Amino acid sequence: MNQHDKLALPVGTTLDRFIMRKQEDFPYATGELSQLLRDIALAAKIVNREINRSGLIDIAGAYGNRNVQGEDQQKLDVIANIRFIRALRNGGEVCTIISEEDEDVIQTGNVQGKYVVAIDPLDGSSNIDVNVSIGTIFSIYRRVSPTGSEGTSQDFLQPGTHQVAAGYVIYGSSTMMVYTTGNGVNGFTYEPSLGEFFLSHPNIQTPSSGAIYSINEGSSESFSEGMKAFVSHCKEQSYSARYIGSLVADFHRNLLKGGIYVYPPTAKAPNGKLRLMYECNPLAFIVEQAGGKSSNGRRRTMEIEPKEMHERCPLFIGSPELVDKAEEFLANEHAASQVVNG
């Protein structure tokens, strides 16, 4: 490459341009889904700005309320929730939203909208005060209620296999948006001086195995025997324990490097802690498109028929060989209990 060419190297493919090029991949491409993804990206840019200045304008810390999950809301939880809802409402493509921060469905007024969005606006927000990576997770479905009417809870009570797109944004040392529409997984890094996301991680493929396990071992005394045996196996294999406490951050690292993230049932959370609709299902869609696997310990995450909008679900997600191994330990535990009780 000569000196003249080096002076103006291309900056890469922007998210907007990539979405437009890939629009023909959508089975019913008419532009609405493309616009919806751009609306989410716009809100992510705004939330990124708020996060980066949170220590300067007193918007970190607790808000003083609890959300529908019974968790203390952080100020940035509220801000992110408002930003994403506003962007989706103004974009016009979404008729109804469910959010981790709201108990009921949120009507956008766009009764002609063909899509519904389930979203965790700011996952891991309690880590903001200590400057740890946090994220946004979203899942997109086609509505099942009649177009022209308000959406209902039934629009969301679809198995994850019905998702048309899903993704997450990670706000860390750099801000990235990673998404899939069922045709592979691509990651885009935000360039703040240009105000654009650029394709940085095309066609992400997760390793088939790995040497990282991510689990909160502080709850290990209440793990099942099968779960305890799997953790012991990881230690015997000299795997590295890596647990940030922000689902998006733990998932993102393992997606790229290989590993498994586990949030099993515990005495405190017998159904697991994570939410099926806007945490487990979207990440399951992404990991499967990247060659990985996701289950609740016994069955594929995306085949679970949801019964409630805020339903909780155990999560075993990551490199397929590690997820298979975890399921093997749990199956052995179940078989042993059947013998004892039989």
Residues in the annotated binding site: 100, 120, 122-126, 216, 243, 273, 279
Q: Say how far apart CA 211 and CA 228 lie, in whole Å.
A: 18
- 104 contact partners, CB below 8 Å, separation of at least 6: none
The half-sphere exposure of 276 on its side-chain side, counting CA atoms within 13 A, is 24
The binding site for substrate consists of 123-126, 216, 243, 273
CA distance 118 to 140: 7
On whether the CB atoms of residues 17 and 10 are closer than 8 A, the answer is no
Residues placed in the known binding site for Mg(2+): 100, 120, 122-123, 279
Question: Which has the closest alpha carbon to 305: 329, 277, 265?
Answer: 277
Listed residue (87, 88, 62) closest to 77, CA to CA: 62
* Half-sphere exposure at residue 102, Cβ-oriented, CA atoms within 13 angstroms: 18
Phi-psi region of 297 (alpha: psi -120 to 50; beta: other; left: phi over 0): left
How far CA 25 is from CA of 11, 140, 183, 288, in Å, comes to 25, 16, 7, 18
Neighbours of 221 (CB within 10 A): 9
Is the distance from CB of 229 to CB of 235 less than 8 angstroms? no
Tokens linked to 98: 């469910």
Residues 6+ apart with CB under 8 A from 28: none
User: Residue 80 and residue 78: Cα distance in Å, rounded?
Assistant: 6
Q: Taking Cα atoms as reference points, which of 200, 260, 210, 208 lies closest to residue 230? A: 260
